[in-house]
Amino acid sequence: MPVSREIHLVARPTGLPREDQFTVVEVAVGDAADGEVLVQNLYMSVDPVMRFQLNGMAPLNETLRGAAIGRIVQSKSPAFAVGDIVSHYLGFREYFRSDGEGLTRVSTPEGLPLTVHLNALGMTGFTAYGGLLRIGQLKPGEQVFVSAAAGAVGSVASQVARLKGCRVIGSTGSPEKAAWLRDVARLDAAINYRETRIGEAVRDAAPEGLDVYFDNVGGDHLEAALACMNLLGRIPVCGMISGYNGADVAVRTLSAIVQRRVMLRGFNLMDFQDLREPFEREMTGWLRSGDLRSEETVLQGIGQAPAALIGLFEGRNLGKMLVRLG
Amino acid sequence: MPVSREIHLVARPTGLPREDQFTVVEVAVGDAADGEVLVQNLYMSVDPVMRFQLNGMAPLNETLRGAAIGRIVQSKSPAFAVGDIVSHYLGFREYFRSDGEGLTRVSTPEGLPLTVHLNALGMTGFTAYGGLLRIGQLKPGEQVFVSAAAGAVGSVASQVARLKGCRVIGSTGSPEKAAWLRDVARLDAAINYRETRIGEAVRDAAPEGLDVYFDNVGGDHLEAALACMNLLGRIPVCGMISGYNGADVAVRTLSAIVQRRVMLRGFNLMDFQDLREPFEREMTGWLRSGDLRSEETVLQGIGQAPAALIGLFEGRNLGKMLVRLG
């Protein structure tokens, strides 16, 4: 009978989360009963959207929820066999029992690591792909700016834009990540917003203006993009992480959208479920050919989950932030 | 040989425009030469978009341009006859000669006044109609908020939304205009933003949230709407007049568009030229039946044009602001 360690939130953060607002709790999970499976989590996904749980959507002193990949280690369900790999949103713990609700069996294309299901081939990559192509209406040859371009969604979005034949500018917050944008993601321009004024840097990097701004940040990055948007430009808004920890995110120049007839659209992957098949086909090809890198930052052990979450909001991750278990 | 009085801008306003920044100049126009017509303007349209001319798009000491309706009083052109009524963008003067470029002959549906061409049946009404139906994707039964709802575009947009079977909230800046919204435009709720907090007032007036916010104002009105937008809400942005005269227009709550997957779109009538025929048909019907009121505030004489423009930015107009000439 396995004992599972789980992450509980014990106090609500106001600014950046702190380690003492989380705790690790041991829970006796029990063996799978009839119709049930026992899942051992292998990788947990650490996502900006978890901020909303911290702010109030998750109850205190219960298991935090998050995306994860696990393996079926006991099965009394006809729907799953021991060894099956499943993705789900029941993470932030090592083991759990399930009647199968919310578990999706995944098969990993040959030659790719398991973690692609939480990264470029999972929700993260699908959000980037559909956000650019459906919400952003991306066309070959366009001028594209992606903020947080070395982050999880941003690192996929910026590479997809390049692979679709666009000129791509990416912003990030460290020299190492800026080097990754140039050398690994092979973007046309990389901006370290901590070393420059973002408004001037975007303007200098976008002499032909911007057709699409893929927004992960909001605030000053959105203002920088608004100043450069071309006529009929599109701004798919995936997130506004600059405000998630309480910073000022005022946008003072929104009226720029009127004269240039620009669209902003908040979205998530519910907006383009019909793209899942072409996404999986195209993304699998890019990953196998090496044209697109599913970048990840991996911390080891459930006890590192709070540090991973804090690090995410501090921008410490390159690519997807993951916690490996077991 | 007619003498025309024209409005020149002689100094650029920073905040609200002042009378001393304009002057009236007399110009000898001359008779129509071969291929030309002489146009006598009858009504000039006074529009928020003229702010951009004041800010720099119009040269100093030349005739301001604006929409107007005139009558052909001399014609040496086969394309126009004396007495024809034309609409054009060459206004802010009494007379001018033209080779016909930029003049559009208009015919006024029986029973309607000439001024409908500058109001509900002209650019103003078309902007409201297409902004709501095409950009806002308005559907019957939806919850709609229109800011500056007693202004030119807003007064048409709010009535069109009512006629399309929506529940409509309008905001305006005086008790008289709020009464007009209730009694003449027959909206479901009218907010005087000078007598209340706009955020609370919109929330109280929209217990079912908002599906469409037709934005003429930006700033605090946009924040008020963002707090109430329903999932997949649409915000056609026609203008952000709150910022045209230099006031703070910071929007601090834009991240609301992410979770509720809301769209904002700046637009103008170039976005839906294909709707012109259904617009003219439907609007003519509403005007003739009396279901929609083409409201107007008319000042008399070219010398009143600066006062009309200043009054527009002070919110003194009910409906369309016009100057009658001759």
pLDDT digits (tens, 9 = 90+) for B244-266: 666 668 999 999 999 999 999 99
Q: Which of A68-72, B90-94, B138-142 has the lowest mean pLDDT?
A: B90-94
Average of per-residue pLDDT across A37-55: 93
Distance CA A321, CA A5 (A): 20
Per-residue confidence (pLDDT) for residue A15, from 0 to 100: 87
pLDDT over 90 (residue A1): no
pLDDT over 80 (residue A245): no
All residues of chain B having their beta carbon less than 8 Å from the beta carbon of residue A222 are 254
- Note whether B255 contacts A218, CB cutoff 8 Å: yes
| Closest among B24, B31, B6, B50 to B98, alpha carbons compared | B31
Per-residue confidence (pLDDT) for residue B132, from 0 to 100: 98
Per-residue confidence (pLDDT) for residue A75, from 0 to 100: 98
| Closest among A324, A321, A326, A325 to A46, alpha carbons compared | A321
Dihedral sign of CA atoms B83, B84, B89, B90 in order: negative
Per-residue confidence (pLDDT) for residue B56, from 0 to 100: 86
Nearest to B268 among A249, A261, A270 (CB): A261
Could you tell me the pLDDT band of residue B242, with boundaries at 50, 70 and 90? confident
Per-residue confidence (pLDDT) for residue A246, from 0 to 100: 64
Q: Centre a 10 Å sphere on the Cβ of residue A1 and count the other Cβ atoms it contains.
A: 8
Distance CA B175, CA B183 (A): 12
pLDDT tens digits, one per residue of A288-315:
999 999 999 999 999 999 999 999 999 8
Q: How far is CA B21 from CA B55, B65, B66, in A?
A: 12, 16, 17
Which residue of A258, A263, A268, A270 to mutate against B (max B Cβ within 10 Å)?
A258
Could you tell me if B56 lies within 8 Å of chain A, comparing CB atoms? no
Distance CA A133, CA A236 (A): 10
* CA B38 distance to own-chain centroid: 27
Tell me if A245 sits within 8 A of A12, measured CB to CB: no
Task: Give A146's contacts (C-beta < 8 A, 6+ positions apart).
Answer: A154, A157, A158, A161, A168, A169, A170, A171, A213, A214, A216
A132 Cα to chain B: minimum distance (Å)? 15
pLDDT tens digits, one per residue of A75-124:
999 999 999 999 999 989 999 999 999 999 999 999 999 999 999 999 99
Average per-residue pLDDT for chain A: 95
- Note whether B237 contacts A218, CB cutoff 8 Å: no
Distance CA A282, CA A270 (A): 19
Residue B324, phi then psi, degrees to nearest 5: -95, 135
Average per-residue pLDDT for chain B: 95
pTM: 0.94
Per-residue confidence (pLDDT) for residue B176, from 0 to 100: 97
Q: Centre a 10 Å sphere on the Cβ of residue A216 and count the other Cβ atoms it contains.
A: 25
Percent of chain A with pLDDT over 90: 90
- Note whether A252 contacts B257, CB cutoff 8 Å: no
Could you tell me the pLDDT band of residue B2, with boundaries at 50, 70 and 90? confident
pLDDT over 90 (residue B131): yes
Burial classification of residue B99, based on how many CB atoms lie within 10 Å of its CB (0-12 exposed, 13-18 middle, 19 or more buried):
middle
Question: What single letter denotes the amino acid at residue A221?
Answer: H
Helix (H) and strand (E) counts for chain B?
Answer: 9, 15
pLDDT tens digits, one per residue of A256-298:
999 899 999 999 999 999 999 999 999 999 999 999 999 999 9
Average of per-residue pLDDT across B89-94: 93
pLDDT tens digits, one per residue of B59-71:
999 999 999 999 9
Q: Where are the beta strands (DSSP E) in A182-266?
A: 189-192, 210-214, 229-237, 263-266
Nearest to B258 among A240, A255, A258 (CB): A240
Could you tell me if A240 lies within 8 Å of chain B, comparing CB atoms? yes
pLDDT over 90 (residue A242): no
- Note whether B261 contacts A264, CB cutoff 8 Å: no
ipTM of the complex in this document: 0.92
pLDDT over 70 (residue A156): yes
pLDDT over 90 (residue B41): yes
pLDDT tens digits, one per residue of B190-241:
999 999 999 999 999 999 999 999 999 999 999 999 999 999 999 999 998 8
Nearest to A264 among B257, B259, B270 (CB): B257
- Note whether A240 contacts B254, CB cutoff 8 Å: yes
Task: Give A78's contacts (C-beta < 8 A, 6+ positions apart).
Answer: none
Could you tell me the pLDDT band of residue A244, with boundaries at 50, 70 and 90? low
Distance CA B118, CA B69 (A): 7
Average of per-residue pLDDT across B294-319: 95
Per-residue confidence (pLDDT) for residue B248, from 0 to 100: 63
